[in-house]
A and B are shown apart, each in its own frame.
Chain A
């Protein structure tokens, strides 16, 4: 639960950053990298443009997993118990 609380905290921070990020353009253009250069002046970050975490939708997934349908089974994926990163 501590882990989840920390994650929620970070997500909230992202959301906070997004409030101020309109001044966060890097360089003078918002054009995506076109392949000619490699970075500076060709990209910007725009976290949380849609601020999905403010809607509370992200936290809903941390529920108990109880189902509204009796015909639903769960736990059929995720039995490995390992991190899936590579």
Chain B
């Protein structure tokens, strides 16, 4: 695993914009950075792939454990939604995707930092933008490189599979005016369309509740039969329409049971169940079991907000944000450092397949919403 410098393509901004990537430089700060890239060996990629499958398997077992032992309070799932979550799991409702965030130095087994199982983003960058970048790199003399990336194909394949379950209009929804979210669902919508699904977009704020027909509807009062929402379950079950979720028969993607896996409380459950796994770090609901050096994360925190890093009992780093407890405590695992940057691997699971990865790097050990996305290759 190496971090290498390279020359960005001339007019790279126009190139990536032509591929649908508009948020490459938010607030004039580079988010997409093709001035550097990470180069892996094939064996290192195999290690990431193997870890991702193992983690996926452990996560599914952990969901069953949470349900069997009724640990919903630990996950702050509102009591009215417990049966909603359980029945979703028992019906084996479809899951499209998720992203494991891994600490990996190329030598030791990848370690799970967290699992973005409900609303993962950086998808367009991972599936498309870095792929085109690699193709352009391949055109340079002497390039013999490859990329761990079949995300796009797996998405289309997943939608084809889902079409056999649901063949109505599939809605895609994200917050209005949030470019990253909108473009992510626009991309996902495109993959569904390529799989032959009829699709529509609706802003989250425009989803309506028809009080007479007792169903969710679009702007034209058409019933929403199924909706992919880039909007977290933990918010949905606490907002005004929450009670309607239990009454309406809209099918939501990700499925309600992903409420368990997208919650960082799962880190403590995973460690309790699989303490011998090489891919897990000790984690618990209080700091004592994990030792004097740990990272404290709000179980419903997002984008690295409100994270504290404690080294030998002393807090050395604390990020800002809007999230509070409950918290989960995870043993501190030093991220590898390359040229002063800390990379985190985002390993994508689509329809049960480990099918690609993206890398975010930051000058601090906490990956946040300003951390840069950098491409990768292997050879």
| A interacts with B | yes
A1 CA to B355 CA, complexed, in Å = 36
Task: Write out the residue numbers on chain B whose beta carbons fall within 8 Å of the beta carbon of A26.
Answer: 135
The residue that B186 contacts in the complex, of A11, A35, A62, with Cβ under 8 A, is: A11
In the assembled complex, the Cα of A7 lies from the Cα of B283 at a distance in Å of 41
Is B221 touching A75 in the complex (CB atoms < 8 A)? no
B residues 205-220 near A (Cβ < 8 Å) are 205-213, 217, 219-220
Instruction: Please state if B150 and A43 are interface contacts (CB–CB under 8 Å).
Output: yes
Question: Which of B62-70, B86-94, B175-183, B272-280 forms part of the interface with chain A?
Answer: B175-183
Q: Which A residues are CB-close (under 8 A) to B213? A: 71
Report Cα–Cα, A26/B179, bound state, in Å.
29
How far does the alpha carbon of A45 sit from the alpha carbon of B19 in the complex, in Å? 11
Given contacts A69-B217, A84-B174, contact A7 B182 (CB under 8 A): yes
A82 to B181, CA, bound (A): 10
Q: Min CB distance, B150 to chain A, in Å?
A: 3
* Interface bits A45-83 vs B (CB < 8 Å: 1, else 0): 111111010000110111101111101111111111011
Q: Which residues of chain B from 317 to 348 have a CB within 8 Å of any chain A CB?
A: 322
Q: Say whether B312 faces chain A, with CB atoms less than 8 Å apart.
A: no
Of B72-80, B232-240, B287-295, the one with at least 4 CB within 8 A of chain A: B232-240
Residues of A that sit less than 8 Å from B by CB: 3-4, 6-7, 10-11, 13-14, 17, 26, 32-33, 35, 37-40, 42-50, 52, 57-58, 60-63, 65-69, 71-80, 82-86
Give residues in B with beta carbon < 8 Å to A: 17-22, 42, 45, 49, 116, 118-122, 128, 131-132, 134-135, 138, 145-150, 152-154, 157, 174-184, 186, 189-190, 193-194, 196, 199-213, 217, 219-221, 230-232, 235-236, 239-241, 244, 262, 302-303, 322, 353, 355, 369, 378
Q: A10-B20, A33-B154 are in contact. List 5 more A-B contacts (CB 8 A).
A: A38-B149, A47-B190, A84-B119, A86-B118, A86-B121
**29 CB < 8 A contacts A-B:** A6-B22, A10-B20, A26-B135, A33-B150, A33-B154, A38-B49, A39-B147, A39-B149, A40-B146, A43-B149, A48-B193, A49-B193, A50-B194, A52-B193, A58-B186, A68-B221, A71-B211, A71-B213, A74-B206, A76-B240, A82-B322, A83-B369, A84-B119, A84-B181, A84-B235, A85-B121, A85-B178, A85-B184, A86-B118
